[in-house]
A = this chain, B = another copy of it.
């Protein structure tokens, strides 16, 4: 049985809230429950890594947790192996995954989280890379990663920043639902559409939706997607 402890956020920002503020209560509880005092932050999804770490550290420190960024270390694999908790932030999913492969962190992180139970926090791109693959990201492919396969901490995909087609929109580009349907024409993994403000808490083999927004679940060949309310047990996906 896997020891994984995951807190997967759709986004770090939510309309009407300060940076990360919408998740303060649930994330604080998650870190405290896992006796985490210091978080290792992975700022690879943005190019200005130092500023990014600073931004996240400011919030975490206000909440009472220490935070060091991988930008400040010469040996990121070792930093991950010694981490009390790992937090991968959002930005560009392709840049993030390419960098994780370049720095030999894909296997290192997967091992720490699945085999040693090191708590993992992701937001946006950091949530994408926690799943089977980055194939349901919304980002532009600004760099070419060696694979779309990701950390595989859960056996399904997530679409962060999920939003429904706007009613009456005159835009003719594909809607999010159409893009996910195209994914399912060629892939099998279920896709959890996480609206901004929603997060998925995974404790071992139990998955629960936290936050105040419902989630939309897309499965191959099952017709219409299904809506699930906060508090719903989503363990059947694991």
| A residues in contact (CB < 8 Å) with B | 11, 13-16, 47, 91-92, 94-95, 124, 134-144, 147-148, 160-161, 163, 170-174, 179-180, 182-183, 185-187, 196
Contacts and interface: CB of A to CB of B under 8 A. Distances in A.
Given A163-B171, A173-B11, A173-B196, A137 B144 contact: no
Contacts of A182: 47, 91-92, 95, 140, 142
7 contacts: A11-B172, A15-B172, A134-B141, A137-B141, A140-B182, A142-B185, A160-B173
A234 to B, nearest CB: 22
A143 B186 contact: yes
Contacts of A186: 47, 95, 142-143
Task: Please provide the 4 A-B residue pairs with the shortest distance between their CB atoms, ordered closest to farther.
Answer: A161-B173, A15-B170, A13-B172, A140-B179
Contact of A148 (B91, B135, B139, B144): B144
Q: Chain A binding site: helix, strand, loop or mixed by DSSP?
A: loop
A138 B187 contact: no
A134 B144 CA distance: 10
Given A92-B182, A172-B196, A196-B171, A140 B137 contact: yes
Given A137-B140, A148-B144, A172 B179 contact: no
Contacts of A173: 11, 124, 138, 160-161, 163, 196
Nearest to A140: B179
